[in-house]
Amino acid sequence: MAKNLVVYFSVYGTAKNIAEEIARQTGADIMEIEPAVPYDSNRDHYSALAKLAKKEHDEDMRPAMKNEIPVAEYDNIFIGYPMWWYTFPMILYTFFDKYDFSGKTIIPFNTHKGSGDGGTYRTIKRLEPNATVLEGLPVEMTAAERGDPERIKQWLMRICPNL
Ligand X SMILES: Cc1cc2nc3c(=O)[nH]c(=O)nc-3n(C[C@H](O)[C@H](O)[C@H](O)COP(=O)(O)O)c2cc1C
3-class SS at 113? coil
Binding residue (CB under 6 A) for ligand X from 5, 6, 7, 15: 15
DSSP letter at 65 equals B
DSSP letter at 75 equals S
The enclosing H or E element of 161 equals: none
**Toward ligand X, which CB reaches closer, 63 or 82?**
82
Residue pair 20/28 in contact (Cβ under 8 Å)? The answer is no
**Toward ligand X, which CB reaches closer, 15 or 124?**
15
Does 10 engage in binding with ligand X (CB under 6 A)?
A: yes
Closest CA to 59 of 33, 93, 32: 93
**Toward ligand X, which CB reaches closer, 104 or 112?**
112
Binding residue (CB under 6 A) for ligand X from 78, 84, 93, 95: 84
Residue pair 141/111 in contact (Cβ under 8 Å)? The answer is yes
Restricting to residues 42-81, name those near ligand X by CB under 6 A. 46, 49-50, 53
Binding residue (CB under 6 A) for ligand X from 3, 55, 66, 113: 113
Provide, rounded to whole angstroms, the least separation between the CB of residue 148 and ligand X. Answer: 12
d(CA 71, CA 136): 19
| Angle at which helices 149-159 and 14-26 cross, to 10° | 50
Q: Select the span of 6-14, 60-68, 122-130, 147-155 touching ligand X (CB under 6 A).
A: 6-14
Does 95 engage in binding with ligand X (CB under 6 A)?
A: no
Residue pair 4/78 in contact (Cβ under 8 Å)? The answer is yes
Does 92 engage in binding with ligand X (CB under 6 A)?
A: no
**Contact residues for ligand X (CB under 6 A)?**
10-16, 46, 49-50, 53, 82-86, 111-115, 141, 144
